[in-house]
């Protein structure tokens, strides 16, 4: 708002004093304006974001009971129970393992695409980037359904292999972790590609050419020049996919078919099935803490890369 600060005429001191007053007045008016502009949005987030989270954290210290009645109290039982029960350690560990597996596989399959897009000088580049990230805006339910069609007992893969006479009994690709992992790798690919393209800023064909003309083999150029330059982008993509995987619900629910238990499905089962609200709240807080730790690392890394 440079216009509002009227230039000070140096030759007249009294006028300058008036200008000072004027500036203060406009500053006050500015303050009113931006507060008025921000207020609706802040209130909206307060109601739809801060209150629910705060209420949930408070709820996690209450006492639940099997019939869904919530006892208002302040207890750490809801936290002690999952932290001492080996079942919940198992679930947390499985969640972590799924996150790591999906993260690594997703980076592996996204890297060639991102590398291709980062280097491409084709006039189709824009379109190809759009196609690679467009699935982000399609429904997770629909994409998971697509994977059920591909991986199911009568699905594309099993029917094809059976038709070719390669298998007698259908491969078990759904209702287990394999199916969930395949689905998640594909579903998070656009995120990984997006993070990689942004992270490959320092990659330049000149550097690779220079290494090549100095006598490095293709393989050496890749391992000594290309890959190290891509590393920050690959790492941020991995962390992003990791945090998205450990908190995702739809895909483990549908492709897991009830036999894959991760933190997100456990939270759902605790609420709708068992009506143990405080316990579900405590599990959510645990997930949130795990999530927050990794996000903090992620943001620090992206800041380093950006700066």
Partner 1 sequence: MSDVKVFKPRFNPAKPAFGLLVFLLYLFLLAPLLIVFVVSFASNQYLSFPPEGLTLKWYEMLPQESTFMEGMKVSLIVAVIVTLIVLALGVPAALALDRFDFKAKAAVQSFFLSPLLIPSIVLALGMVLLFGPLELNNTYAGIIIGHVAITIPFVIRTTLMSLATTDTSCEAAARILGAGSWTVFRRVTLPIIQPGVIAGGVIAFIVSFDEAVISLFVAESGLPTLPVQVLRYVENSADAAVAALSVILILISLAVVVVVERVMGLRKALR
Q: Quick check: 212 binds partner 1 (CB under 8 A)?
A: no
Interacting span for partner 1 (CB under 8 A) from 81-89, 201-209, 227-235, 287-295 = 287-295
d(CA 166, CA 199) in angstroms, rounded, equals 42
∠ CA 66-68-69, rounded to 5°: 105
DSSP category for residue 282: H
Q: Where are the alpha helices (DSSP H) in the chain?
A: 13-45, 51-59, 77-84, 86-119, 125-133, 140-151, 156-163, 177-199, 205-213, 218-221, 227-247, 250-256, 263-268, 277-306
* Closer Cβ to partner 1, 35 or 76, answer by number: 35
Q: Quick check: 48 binds partner 1 (CB under 8 A)?
A: yes
* Closer Cβ to partner 1, 17 or 29, answer by number: 29
d(CA 98, CA 105) in angstroms, rounded, equals 11
Query: Residues 137 to 166: which contact partner 1 by CB under 8 A?
Result: 137-150, 152, 154-156, 159-160, 163
* Closer Cβ to partner 1, 3 or 214, answer by number: 3
* Contact criterion met (CB below 8 Å) for 145 and 201: no
Q: Quick check: 271 binds partner 1 (CB under 8 A)?
A: yes
* Contact criterion met (CB below 8 Å) for 99 and 287: no
* Closer Cβ to partner 1, 6 or 15, answer by number: 6
Q: Of the candidates 183, 302, 288, which has an alpha carbon nearest to the alpha carbon of residue 243?
A: 288
Interacting span for partner 1 (CB under 8 A) from 165-173, 199-207, 227-235, 279-287 = 279-287
Q: Quick check: 279 binds partner 1 (CB under 8 A)?
A: no
Q: Quick check: 171 binds partner 1 (CB under 8 A)?
A: no
In angstroms, what is the minimal distance from the CB of 21 to partner 1? 20
Out of 8, 100, 104, 136, the residue judged to bind partner 1 by CB under 8 A: 136
* Closer Cβ to partner 1, 50 or 80, answer by number: 50
* Closer Cβ to partner 1, 235 or 298, answer by number: 298
d(CA 56, CA 49) in angstroms, rounded, equals 11
Out of 109, 177, 227, 229, the residue judged to bind partner 1 by CB under 8 A: 109
């Amino acid at each position: 708002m440079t216009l509002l600060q009227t230039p000070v005429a140096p030759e007249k001191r009294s006028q300058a004093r008036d200008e000072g007053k004027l500036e203060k007045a406009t500053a006050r008016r500015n303050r009113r304006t931006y507060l008025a502009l921000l207020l609706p949005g802040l209130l909206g987030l307060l109601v739809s974001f801060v209150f629910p989270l705060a209420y949930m954290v408070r709820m996690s210290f209450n006492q639940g009971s099997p019939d869904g009645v919530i006892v208002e109290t302040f207890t750490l039982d809801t936290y002690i129970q999952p932290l001492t029960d080996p079942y919940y350690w198992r679930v947390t560990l499985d969640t972590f393992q799924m996150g790591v597996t999906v993260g690594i596989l997703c980076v592996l399959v996204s890297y060639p695409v991102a590398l291709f897009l980062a280097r491409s000088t084709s006039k189709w580049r824009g379109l190809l980037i759009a196609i690679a990230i467009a699935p982000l805006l399609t429904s997770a339910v629909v994409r998971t359904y697509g994977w059920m069609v591909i991986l199911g007992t009568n699905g594309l893969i099993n029917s094809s292999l059976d038709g070719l006479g390669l298998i007698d009994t259908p491969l078990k690709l759904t209702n287990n972790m394999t199916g969930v992992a395949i689905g998640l790798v594909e579903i998070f690919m656009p995120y990984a590609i997006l993070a990689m393209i942004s992270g490959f800023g320092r990659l330049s064909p000149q550097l690779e050419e220079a290494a090549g003309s100095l006598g490095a083999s293709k393989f050496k150029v890749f391992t000594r020049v290309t890959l190290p330059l891509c590393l920050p982008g690959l790492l941020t993509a991995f962390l992003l996919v990791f945090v998205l995987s450990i908190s995702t619900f739809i895909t483990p629910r549908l492709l897991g078919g009830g036999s894959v238990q991760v933190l997100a499905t456990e939270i759902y089962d605790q609420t709708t099935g068992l009506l143990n609200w405080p316990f579900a709240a405590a599990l959510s807080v645990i997930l949130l803490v795990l999530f927050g730790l990794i996000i903090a690392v992620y943001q620090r890394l992206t800041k380093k890369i950006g700066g």
